Amino acid sequence: MTKPAFEWQISLGNVIQIALLLIAGSIGWATFDARIAANETAIRNGISDGRRIDAEHEMRLRTMETSNARAEERFTSILALLARIDSRLERIEQGDQK
């Protein structure tokens, strides 16, 4: 069986591979750094926008609560009207049976 042999020589292919590895690493680092900067900017803008958005949500919530209260009041009045109609129908039915 033959032993593996290593030649300690640097060829043009090795130099090209090392250069491409360094280029790919620098491009990756630049992309990563750009993404970090974009996220930092978004976070900084989001904090000031977040307060405005919270105020808008609070206003919408109050509007919905008011609307819900009105709808609930209407529903209660409809239930009262139905109860009165039901009692009248019962009296009419009792009058017909006599």
Provide the domain count of the chain. Answer: 1
User: pTM here?
Assistant: 0.42
**pLDDT of 98 above 70:** no
**pLDDT of amino acid 47:** 63
Domain range enclosing 66: 46-98
Q: What is the pLDDT of residues 35-59, one digit of tens each?
A: 999 988 888 877 656 667 778 889 9
Q: What letter would DSSP give residue 45? A: H
In a domain, 35, yes or no: no
Q: What is the pLDDT of residues 56-80, one digit of tens each?
A: 889 999 999 999 999 999 999 999 9
More confident residue, 15 or 57: 15
In a domain, 30, yes or no: no
**pLDDT of amino acid 56:** 84
In a domain, 27, yes or no: no
**How long a stretch of residues is the chain?**
98
In a domain, 68, yes or no: yes
For 6, phi then psi, to 5°, come to -110, 135
Q: Residue 85 belongs to what H/E stretch?
A: helix 12-97
